[in-house]
Amino acid sequence: MPLFHIRHRTHYIYSSLVIDSANQVKLYPINDECQKVSEHRLVVSANPIVHTISDYFGNRTGFFTVLFPHKELSIDSLLEVEMFAKPQPVKTLDPSEVWKQILGEAVQLRYHDFLKAEEAESKQEIQQAIHEILGKVQHPLDTIIDLSDYIYDNFTYTKGVTSIETSVDEIWKLRAGVCQDFAHLLLYMLRLMGVPARYISGYICPGHNAWRGEGATHAWAEVWLPDTGWVGIDPTNKCIAAERHVRLASGRNFSDCTPVKGTYKGATEHKLEVTVQFGAEAFSEKHLDDPLPTFVSGTIQGGAPRNSYMAYLQMQQQQ
């Protein structure tokens, strides 16, 4: 039962004063039997009132506005969470019965939000790869794990070769990317098969064994099967999501789960820093006062102006 302390800091530095900064945050961790949130604080530098709602997918979502002129804005999410090992999914139904139920009208209507696959020129090639794996007579969960393993074995984990606009076609051709790309591709494959699947955003915490993307924000997929319920599949690390996978939000894709996004009036040139820190104990004042940015985007002097929302998405994508 590991206990993690996580600090996720977003820091905007503008080249001149800005006003009317309106923001949406999905930084509230899921709290359930496998993920017990002991403490969570959201600290915004300007001390605005943060209003929260539950969005369409059940994610707690915060909204705040900073109306007065400011040159910096920081959003700190401080989390203490205890993680419990999930029991391995138990396959209680015959494989043919599971497929029958998944592809039946009731399930297809109930989970229609998680079943629509985007248009892709590589559809036939991807379907052929799926067909080769589907050729085995086995439970759908085993097929899904085989698909995840296929991505892990055939695609290289490489930062900087993709962006938030990278399509399934480009990922397929590049055979490379990061966690968001691998989750994106796996979701596409699952939806082609008619299996309900959703995108999960969160963190992958450091542990005894080094994993790709650990110590940062992370992304993976969850699939729904009638005899197992929702099961997390991490194609970046060739595993079922477990006690090192801390969940923040779920949705159809990354845009439904974006941790921070917003808009403002004023300077177009800026610097954006994102820091994610992990610890076994609560962070000291020194840690909180002297953070080292994990990712930096934008520029205060020179360079092309860049939309801060797009910059944040780009940094999220590259983890």
Segment 59-109, tens digit of pLDDT: 999 999 999 999 999 999 999 999 998 888 989 999 999 999 999 999 999
CA atoms within 13 A on the CB side of 313: 19
Q: Is residue 31 part of a domain?
A: yes
235, 270: one domain: no
Polymer length of the chain: 319
| Beta carbons of 23 and 77 less than 8 angstroms apart | no
Strand, helix or coil for residue 249: strand
Q: Do 143 and 191 reside in the same domain of the chain?
A: yes
| % of the chain surpassing 90 pLDDT | 72
Instruction: Please say which residue of 190, 207, 242 terminates a domain.
Output: 242
Same domain, 107 and 228: yes
Helix (H) or strand (E) holding 6: strand 3-25
Number of domains in the chain: 2
The predicted-structure confidence for 230-276, as pLDDT tens digits, reads as follows 999 999 999 999 999 999 999 999 999 999 999 999 988 888 888 89
What mean pLDDT do residues 110-138 have? 92
**Overall average pLDDT of the 214-222 stretch:** 89
Choose the final residue of a domain: 242, 275, 296.
242
SS3 121: coil
The answer to whether the CB of 166 falls within 8 A of the CB of 188 is no
Residues 64 and 142 in one domain: no
Cβ(201)–Cβ(254) under 8 Å?
A: yes
Residue 54 lies in a domain: yes
Looking at the structure, do residues 215 and 120 belong to the same domain, yes or no?
Answer: yes
Specify whether the CB–CB gap between 292 and 133 falls below 8 A.
Answer: no
What's the mean per-residue pLDDT of the chain?
88
Cα separation of the two ends of the chain: 26
H-helix segments, the chain: 95-102, 105-110, 123-134, 140-154, 168-174, 179-192, 285-289, 308-317
Q: Tell whether 202 and 108 lie within a shared domain.
A: yes
Of 211, 242, 273, the last residue of a domain is 242
8: tokens are 């996720």
Going by C-alpha positions, the residue among 197, 189, 164, 89 that lies closest to residue 319 is: 164
CB distance 190 to 223 below 8 Å = yes
CATH number of the domain that 129 lies in? 3.10.620.30
Question: Do 100 and 69 share a structural domain?
Answer: no
Whether 161 and 181 share a structural domain: yes
Integer Cα distance of 198 and 114 in angstroms: 6
pLDDT confidence tier of residue 318, bands split at 50, 70 and 90: very low
CATH number at residue 305: 2.60.40.2250
On whether both 274 and 215 belong to a single domain, the answer is no
Rounded distance between C-alpha atoms, residue 226 and residue 207, angstroms:
32
**What does the pLDDT read at residue 137?**
81
Q: What is the pLDDT of residue 147?
A: 96
pLDDT of residue 235: 97
Residues 44, 166 within the same domain: no
Which 3 state secondary structure label does DSSP give 301?
coil
pLDDT at 209 over 80: no
Are 211 and 294 members of one domain?
A: no
Structural domain that includes position 132: 95-242
Establish if 159 belongs to a structural domain.
yes
Element (H, E) at 69: none
